[in-house]
Amino acid sequence: MHAIFVREHGGPEVLSWTGFPDPEPGPGEVGVRLGAAGVNYMDTGVRRAPVRTWSLPAVLGVEGMGTVTALGAGVGEFAVGDRVAWYYHKGSYAEQLAIPADSLVRVPDEIGDETAAAVLMQGLTAHHFTTETYAIQPRDTAVVHAAAGGVGLTLTQLIKARGGTVIGLVSREDKVSVAKEAGADHVLVSSGGGFEEQVRELTGGEGAHVVYDGSGPSTFRSSQLALRRHGVHAYYGVLIGENPRIDPAGMPNSILLSYPAVADHVPTREALLRRAGEVFDFVRKGQLTPRIGGRYALADAARAHRDLESRRTTGKLLLLP
């Protein structure tokens, strides 16, 4: 089998289409033939520079879906031929994988392969953001960065499902319609900071209840200034550039700062199955429809990385074997 292998940090050119022996599932593991892998800023961040939780050389990728091909000893929950998805397994840019059974969820029959690959990680992320990070209530106002991207579009749909108002931020004029189609009430074109006054105008001078900020250090200060008293700054742009230095005395309006990690939303097998089921239910009800922004051959992952980092893309990018 082949996989996308990285030996050293750098640009997309360091991604290598490399042959490996087919993996054999060990005890508690499931052999999976990849159906589609998702592309994330996490992947580009790991490729560009050292990340505390990753070391190179390594096969990139963390999320995807596929079909069960073999069962390791002790696995009774799945059968060969089952369609499964996972939100986090290192090395997912690979044609064949051996994945711990506890990391997998069965894909419902009515959910298509590409939808399953596109929705699970970002669906769990948005579910976490809109429930435990800040529980959106009817008429709450949320600012969503990168509102035409995969996380942004998913967030927008779940905020609207919970009765909230969305102020979306996009980097280019041609992305405005994409964010509005997902349900954003207002869309501002902004590729960095300086949007706080517009947010305050749209909220009658009060500011937003929550800002979901995955855009990196360039937006950090403006996101905080766009919040009302005791608002929540959900910052998840830690892999985009150097992390900002935090001065607690300089944080305005008694705001709360959070780095929401999905692992804290699904810390147990029971929680993963329950939360994943809720995400799939949103899809069934038509409240969540992932937008596939690009399909690439797995071997062409470098082009997907270039396109993602250019900010030309919208929605979720998938790699297909």
pLDDT for 201 = 97
pLDDT for 131 = 98
User: Is 155 in contact with 316 (CB distance < 8 Å)?
Assistant: no
Report the SS3 class of residue 300: helix
pLDDT for 240 = 65
State the CB neighbour count (10 A cutoff) for residue 154.
31
Please provide the CATH number assigned to the domain covering 122-263: 3.40.50.720
Q: Along the chain (321 residues), what's the average pLDDT of each consecutive run of 10 residues? A: 97 98 97 97 92 92 98 97 97 98 97 97 97 98 95 97 98 95 96 93 98 90 97 85 82 96 96 98 96 96 95 91 96
Q: Let me know if the fold of 2-107+291-320 is the same as that of 122-263.
A: no
Distance of CA 312 to the CA centre of its chain: 17
The pTM score is: 0.93
Q: Which fold has domain 2-107+291-320?
A: Quinone Oxidoreductase; Chain A, domain 1 (3.90.180)
pLDDT for 181 = 96
Cβ neighbours of residue 116 closer than 8 Å, sequence gap 6 or more = 35, 65, 83, 85, 107
- Nearest CA to 211 out of 228, 190, 192 is that of 228
**CA–CA distance, 128 with 220 (Å, rounded to integer):** 20
pLDDT for 237 = 76
Q: How far is CA 308 from CA 60, 147, 150, 187, 305, in A?
A: 15, 14, 11, 21, 5
pLDDT for 245 = 84
* Sequence ranges of the domains in the chain: 2-107+291-320, 122-263
**CA–CA distance, 23 with 103 (Å, rounded to integer):** 17
pLDDT for 291 = 94
